[in-house]
Structures are given as C-alpha cells and as structure tokens.
Amino acid sequence: MYHLTVFASGGGTTLQAIIDAIEKKELNCQINLVISNSSDAYALERAKNAGIDTYVIQNKKADEIDLELETLLNQYEIDLIVLAGYLKKIGPKLVENYTIINTHPSLIPKFCGKGMYGMKVHEAVVKAGEKISGATVHFVNNQYDEGNIISQTKIEVLPTDTADDVAEKVKSAEKIQLIHVIRDLSQ
C-alpha cells in the first residue's frame, strides 16, 4: 500500500478526487493525513468524512512550521506528499526529507511562481490571449513552481472563454492528470 499525505488550503476538490479514486480502486493508496494552513478549509471536512486524520498548522513563522510539520509527519508512514491546492511554500527540511508533488493550474513555465495560483493564473491566461493552457504536476523543490515537471495536460482556450471557463477546463484535466501521476509513482 502506498501512503499519501495531502496538503490543502481550500475546498479540497482535488483531495476529493484522490479519495474517490482510492474508493473506486483506481489507486492502490491510502491517505494517512490531510494538513491545512486554514482551520476553515473545507478539505478538512472532506478528510474527516472519509475517516482521514487531519491537522491544522499552528505556527506562523516558516522555520517553526518546518519543525512542527517534521515532528508531526514522523508519526506517519509517508511515501508521497501531495500539494492539492496548498497555498503556502513548503520548507526546506520537508523538501529534503520527502518526495513532494504539486499541481499547478498552468503549463509551467508560463503563469507560475510566487503569487500565481487559482483564478489569478486563469485571469492572466485570458488577459494574455493564450490559445492553450493546462495543468502541470511537478516535483517540489525550494523554489515556487520550479521543480522537475512530471506531467502536463493541455486544454484549448477559446476566444470566448472567460477565466471561469478556463478554470473549469483546467480543474477537470488537473484531477485526471494527478490521479495518473499518483498511480505511476505508486507502482
């Protein structure tokens, strides 16, 4: 069994896609823990509904967060950490000690880096008049969105598409892509 820890900051739709894939036996994995930087994140509720342990980060300073998470994660068997809509930078000790992947809602190297997440990315794509966008799954290193790319999925951006339209297309592609990447890594 392949053991996952998922980090999420918001609604947890990507987390739910992983939970659903596990329940459908599309992934031979188990999510041992869901971590959030926000006690209001609906991802925590999704995890609790699935019987998964949850944890809300308590500290505010980066070095204290690193120590807090290192202490916590040592209590769990972890093969892979998945950042699924997690909006904080991961500390260097976690990057050094764990295999971590992230989903990003653009085709890196475009529309990425610090401050580029969620609707900000899709608005930038539409504003730039891009004809193609998509989703990237990459390994996490110590720089925002600069780790080695594992997989990219392209979607067409129509001239009539709004940022919301692009977001919906990318979210659908991103979830499918992430499940394939997790499956490949777990095998």
80 to 6, 31, 98, 187: CA distances (angstroms): 9, 10, 7, 12
Catalytic residue from among 104, 122, 138, 180: 104
φ and ψ at residue 21, rounded to 5 degrees: -65, -35
Q: Which of the 8 DSSP states describes residue 89?
A: P
User: At a CB cut-off of 8 Å and minimum separation 6, what does 176 contact?
Assistant: 153
Q: Please list, in sequence order, all residues whose beta carbon lies within 8 angstroms of the beta carbon of residue 97, skipping any fewer than 6 positions away.
A: 70
Rounded Cα distance between 59 and 61, Å, is: 6
Contact assessment for residue 49 and residue 74, using Cβ atoms and an 8 Å cutoff: no
**Spatial separation of the C-alpha atoms in residues 182 and 28, rounded to whole Å:** 9
The Cα 69–Cα 177 span in angstroms is 27
**Chain Cα centroid distance, residue 90:** 12
Pairing mode, if any, of strands 100-104 and 80-83?
A: parallel
Catalytic status, residue 138: no
- The set of catalytic residues is 104
